[in-house]
Amino acid sequence: MTARETAAPPAAGGATVLRWLERPCRQGVTWGVPWPRGALRPGTPFALAAADRTAVPVQSWTTATWPDGSVKWSAHAAGPQAVPAGSYTLVPGAEPAAPREPVTVTRDGDALRVATGPVAWTLPGTGGTELIGSVSHGGAEIARRVRLVGLRQDTPDEDGSRVREPSAGTVSRVAVEQDGPVRAVVRLEGRHVLAGGRSWLPFTVRLYFYAGAADVRIVHTFVWDGGAGADFLAGLGLSADVVMRDPLHDRHVRLAGAEGFLTEAVRGLTGLRRDPGEAVRRAQVAGRPVGEIGNPEVADRLHLIPAWNDYTLEQGGADGFTLRKRTAPGHAWVTVPAGTRSRGYGYVGGASGGLGFGLRDFWRLHPTRLDVRGAAGDAATATVWLWSPGAAPMDLRFWHDGLGQDTFAGQLEGLEITYEDHEPGFGDPHGIARTHELTLRVHGATPPNGELAEHAALLESPGLLTAAPERIRAAGVFGVWSPPDRSDPAAAAIEDRLDFLFGFYRDQVEQRRWYGFWDYGDVMHAYDPDRHTWRYDVGGYAWDNSELSPDLWLWYQYLRTGRAEVFRLAEAMTRHTGEVDVYHLGRWKGLGSRHNVQHWGCSCKQLRISNAAYRRFFYYLTADERTGDLLDELAAPEETFLAVDPLRKVRRDAYTPDPGALSVGLGADWGALAAAWLTRWERHGDERARDRLLGTMADIAALPYGFLTGQALFDLAAGRFDATRESVEVSHLSAVFGLPEICAELIDLDLGVEGFERAWLDYCRLYLAPAERQQAEVGRVLEGVSLVQAHSRLAAYAAARTGDAELARLAWRAFLVDEGDRLNVNPLQRERDWRLTEVRGPAVLMPVTEAPFVSTNDAAQYGLAAIQNLALVPGHLSGALRLLSGDAT
């Protein structure tokens, strides 16, 4: 037996040890924990204790339930701690400690006052342009008028002329989602209103407050609803006015560089011809009040020292930022020494208080900018620009003229040469979105640079508490996976390759500069070894857009390893693919776009990209409300089949979408539907979603050939399939967009749907079966069988459920050496085929490493097949290798 089979699982229903994903952090934190079915009833209290058994106040709620109503996932929040522990224990059934300074939300009509202890935040409510009206610390106002700002122009500025129209985010709805005692969440919705009166760019902003915290976390999402050829976004940002009370020489500006901070006083006292004294100089640099300036040669000439009113840090790309400052509008900017990658954090204020501000992934989401304006006046304005007004305006026009592909026949020809599925009018970004995470932090005095550096680090990598992989696995969530077991050399070799593939993509993100406002979080689809680059400009080979489920691969690899770097890559992908690759309003709302040079460019709009299965991991592990919004957008995913027929270009019949008989594929389509329905049911107890899930499971079971039928007609009103279809049709794409993973979860749930497991196991058994067996069981040989290695996990699943050793051997043979992509090679041989090649010299822009045999399709499916085969049939691996190697060791 393997170590995996003999190790005792942790007691998943009892006290759970939590550790930091990366490092202990001194800020409010929210996280999720899974529980076995039947272990906890709704309403069960939770207590939290540090490693030294000190009680830590915690706020808890349920994010998902099992079919029996017991808690499946719980979410928890703890406030900032002066000295965070290295680990904590979460204890169900015990009452939580109360915070010393609870966060409170007080309503006054439409307005809100949120108090966290040290800081009070006033939210004016609806109808105005202020998200936060005033912020005070110890009774003194520090900042006011926190607001969204924007700029629009109607040309792309290609001729050198432009007219920019400002906009202001106007709040139309305010909702308190949580009101303490440890965590409060306020959601604000609205639209930007242009100077001419037009409203556009709907936004959602969530404000997160923690008991005892001096900061507010801000999650901002906007949806693009402009016209790609008429609207060019020239700036989008968050501004706040900071009260400036101190003498000019006791006012300070800090802007983060790649390591430390630009350390400035509005009126500098260092470097002067006359020395104000060492104590004065040291105090000013440290951000302390300088006190009396004893040297009259300096004190009497303060009015002759320029005051620096305005500062700008511009991150135009991933590799460099510029800095400049000026004394006042109408005067020239003075260049400040520049740098590489700003950490995107700043501070403006003085000895009596100020405001820290920043944007997560600042340089990765370029073009971005930090501005300070009016620092020499009564109020300085700090602005975090999500799209810098110093950059070229955002241009979302389609990337080519159509190349004459006006008919389906012409478009299919284009697919044959560039792999792009083009259709006029379908490369429209109307309805895509982007989410950013920002912070504002109140200070009673200018903090030292070391403290600011800590705040910048917390913004970059927010704290997260996590349970160990073994503990999560013991809860029975997310189907088929297991922690790595390297006790078998063959399994260890496969683990090495999983590490190889992850490390390769992690490094490619950096080497290939897969960064930028719309791009960060995605990876490329396929490689061009002739040019030593990914095929960024070749039709459907460019941005991957979740093709063949790299999202799932990364999340399962995180679950089983608990590695922070895997989590962060998966997190960035979830943020991107759930927002940019999916439509959130308009005619394709709820659908995603297939891979393309532009994320929204492909005419294939399908649920396989907006798939709830790709978002569930991040939601449950972090309780992230924005991801919850994305899942809620799929409350009725079946209705998207009225919008567009996925098979319209290849159909030979006269089908048009009919609400009573919608053509739905039983692979990628139903897998996405099932994931959405299941998630809706377990999150909200939605009976409609439950009934459609269970009903269609029963219908698939009733079909004469089950999943092998390929397609079925769906009645939108009844929520059921026509179960009379008698045909056999398989696609190599049916089981590579989350279908095996969601079927495994459904079967584990034991929902009482007779015949469903049999229908799925039939598909798993027969897809890679010999032709004679396929002929004997369904009357024909299956056509379209491909992606052999990817489908090895289906055979492994059937083997594990039935105990069929021959199926287990088939699974490993298909995974290791059968026909298919170049990744299936014997893990104990041909190591030279799994190596990186460094490319330098005049053929590349900069030194890179390449692995031309890797494509994202293959990597994602190799990863999923390896993870599931190792979990399902590990005991058959060595035997399969001996047979394949002719008894070679």
315-372, pLDDT tens digit by residue? 999 999 999 999 999 999 999 999 999 999 999 999 999 999 999 999 999 999 999 9
In tens, the pLDDT along 275-323 reads 999 999 999 999 999 999 999 999 999 999 999 999 999 999 999 999 9
In this prediction the pTM is 0.96
Do 795 and 733 reside in the same domain of the chain? no
Examine the fold and report which residue of 70, 92, 114 is the final residue of a domain before the chain moves on.
92
Give the span between the Cα atoms of 240 and 135, in whole angstroms: 10
Give the domain range for residue 341: 169-267+306-393+438-460
What lies within 8 Å, CB to CB, of 528 at 6+ separation is 534, 535, 538, 541
Q: Which residue has the higher pLDDT, 9 or 480?
A: 480
Q: Which is higher by pLDDT, 682 or 157?
A: 682
Q: Quote the tokens at residue 476.
A: 């029975």
* Mean pLDDT calculated for residue range 741-753: 98
Query: In DSSP terms, which residues pair with 543 in a beta bridge?
Result: 524, 596
Mean pLDDT, to the nearest integer, of 472-484?
Answer: 98
- CA dihedral 465→471→475→478, nearest 10 degrees, is 70
**DSSP H or E run through 149:** strand 140-153
> Amino acid identity, residue 463?
G
From residue 704, alpha-carbon distances to 389, 660, 698, 712, 727 in Å are: 61, 21, 12, 12, 8
Q: Does the residue 608 lie in any domain? A: no
Residue 840 and residue 886 in one domain: yes
Nearest to residue 787, comparing CAs of 887, 874, 728, 864? Answer: 864
Of 196, 189, 159, 192, the C-alpha closest to 174 is: 189
Q: Is residue 501 part of a domain?
A: yes
**Banded model confidence at residue 4, pLDDT cuts 50, 70, 90:** very low
| Same domain for 493 and 375 | no
Separation CA 647–CA 649 (nearest Å): 6
Identify whether residues 229 and 263 lie together within a single domain: yes
- Say whether both 651 and 762 belong to one domain: yes
Last residue of one domain, picked from the residues 76, 92, 108 = 92
Q: How far apart are CA 565 and CA 576, in angstroms?
A: 17
Q: Say yes or no: 194 and 329 in one domain.
A: yes
Cα 469 to chain centroid distance, Å, stands at 20
Q: Judge residue 863's burial from the number of C-beta atoms within 10 Å of its C-beta, 0-12 exposed, 13-18 middle, 19 or more buried.
A: buried
Q: Tell me which residue has tokens 């303060």.
A: 302
**Closest among 560, 483, 492, 481 to 881, alpha carbons compared:** 492
pLDDT of residue 834: 85
CB-based contact 792:785 (threshold 8 Å): no
Predicted local confidence at residue 172, as pLDDT: 98
| pLDDT value of residue 330 | 97
The pLDDT value recorded for residue 157 is 83
Instruction: Give, for 538, the enclosing helix (H) or strand (E).
Output: none
644, 683 contact by CB (below 8 A): no
Neighbours of 549 (CB within 10 A): 28
pLDDT at 753 over 90: yes
Q: CA–CA separation, 810 vs 880, rounded Å?
A: 9
The token pair at 321 is 């930022």
Q: What is the mean pLDDT of residues 68-81?
A: 98
Nearest-angstrom CA–CA distance, 283 and 271:
14
Say whether both 238 and 350 belong to one domain: yes
Looking at the structure of the chain, the number of domains it has is 4
Residue 465 lies in a domain: no
Check pLDDT > 60 for residue 832: no
Q: What is the pLDDT of residue 653?
A: 86
CB 562 within 8 A of CB 19: no
Classify residue 339 as left (phi > 0), alpha (psi -120 to 50) or beta.
beta
Residue 609 lies in a domain: no
Predicted pLDDT at 824: 54
> Measuring CA to CA, how many Å separate 572 from each of 320, 383, 511, 519, 618?
21, 24, 17, 10, 10
In a domain, 620, yes or no: no
Considering only CA atoms, give the Rg of the chain.
Answer: 29
754 inside domain? yes
Q: How many CA atoms lie within 13 A of 869 on its CB side?
A: 32
Chain CA centroid to CA 175, Å: 24
Is 814 found in the same domain as 875? yes
For residues 183 and 99, give the distance between their C-alpha atoms in angstroms, rounded to a whole number: 10
Coil, strand or helix at 622: helix
Tell me the C-alpha distance between 590 and 661, whole Å. 20
CA nearest neighbour of 312 among 271, 253, 270: 253
Give the tens place of pLDDT for each residue, 212-260: 999 999 999 999 999 999 999 999 999 999 999 999 999 999 999 999 9
Is the domain of 663 the same as that of 762? yes
pLDDT at 666: 98
Average pLDDT, the chain: 95
pLDDT of residue 827: 47
In order, the DSSP letters of 509-531 are HHHTT--STTTTT--BS-EETTT
Q: Which residues are 347's β-sheet partners?
A: 254, 356
Q: How many Å apart are CA 245 and CA 350, to the nearest integer?
A: 7
| Final residue of a structural domain among 48, 71, 92 | 92
Residue 206 inside a domain? The answer is yes
Instruction: Measure the CA–CA gap between 573 and 615, rounded to whole angstroms.
Output: 10
**Phi-psi sector, 53: left (phi>0), alpha (psi -120 to 50), beta:** left
Same domain assignment for residues 660 and 770 = yes
Classify residue 104: in a domain, yes or no: no
Residues 685 and 761 in one domain: yes
Q: pLDDT tens, 11-47?
A: 677 999 999 999 999 999 999 999 999 999 999 999 9
Paired residues of 53 in beta bridges: none
Contact 590, 633 (CB under 8 A): yes
CATH of the domain at 219: 2.70.98
- 820 and 766, same domain (yes or no): no
The answer to whether the beta carbons of residues 814 and 768 sit under 8 Å apart is yes
- Nearest residue to 815 (alpha-carbon basis) of 865, 752, 852, 774: 865
